[in-house]
Chains A and B, each alone.
Chain A
Amino acid sequence: DAGVIQSPRHEVTEMGQEVTLRCKPISGHDYLFWYRQTMMRGLELLIYFNNNVPIDDSGMPEDRFSAKMPNASFSTLKIQPSEPRDSAVYFCASSFSLGSYEQYFGPGTRLTVT
């Protein structure tokens, strides 16, 4: 398996623009997680899905953020409108199950909002 795939790897956009980040989890994994990493706050969970259903979105900072998982092999994280404080690295991770299984992370998308 190619591992968790994220695109784009880098995104530079202007304030107010819509940004869409994409993730393809490892095949067979039932759980998908979106995390955000900043120097100040470290790694924080934004939202996670189980079998394509959002389970916990308490980490989504504002209504400007939304996430979808239309099928088992694809998820998107959208920011509309983007702001400079959204600049961070966004990671997608997947897991076969919870508890006994590791989470595997993608390479991340580095977002810069100017």
Chain B
Amino acid sequence: KQEVTQIPAALSVPEGENLVLNCSFTDSAIYNLQWFRQDPGKGLTSLLLIQSSQREQTSGRLNASLDKSSGRSTLYIAASQPGDSATYLCAVPPGGSQGNLIFGKGTKLSVKP
């Protein structure tokens, strides 16, 4: 059964700092991995989708990497800003399936001005 873990559960950094959020999954037979952002009381916004054949994906100040063999992904945020404060979730389909997403519990990021 696919399980997704995100460490740390919460992170507080000063503005301008580069940071890395971690995601690990137990079944490496995944088709893709998706990173989301959730603001308090809001829905989920898709940030990046990495296909299983890709090693990384970039969007602006965000860079996500994927290492299937080790069951890990990282989300790198460069030059963090207070507006980046949110909960970041990673999600993968069940191993060997292209169906629904299995979510981690998320990392709550706070960027202090």
* Size band of the interface chain B makes with A: 20 to 34
**Contact residues in B for A110 (Cβ distance below 8 Å):** 41
Query: What is the interface of chain A mostly: helix, strand, loop, or mixed?
Result: strand
Give chain B's interface residues, CB within 8 Å of chain A: 31-32, 34, 36, 41-46, 49, 51, 89, 91, 93, 98-106
Task: Provide the residues of chain A in CB contact with B34, threshold 8 Å.
Answer: 102-103
- Residues on A lying within 8 angstroms of B by beta carbon are 33, 42-45, 48, 55-56, 59, 91, 93, 98-108, 110
Asked if A100 and B43 sit within 8 Å, CB to CB, the answer is: no
Instruction: Tell me which residues across on chain B come within 8 A of A105, comparing CB atoms.
Output: 36, 43-46
Query: In the docked arrangement, what's the CA distance between A104 and B43, Å?
Result: 10
Separation of A104 and B104 alpha carbons in the complex (Å): 17
| Bound-complex Cα distance A59 to B99 (A) | 13
A103 proximity list for chain B (CB < 8 A):
34, 46, 101
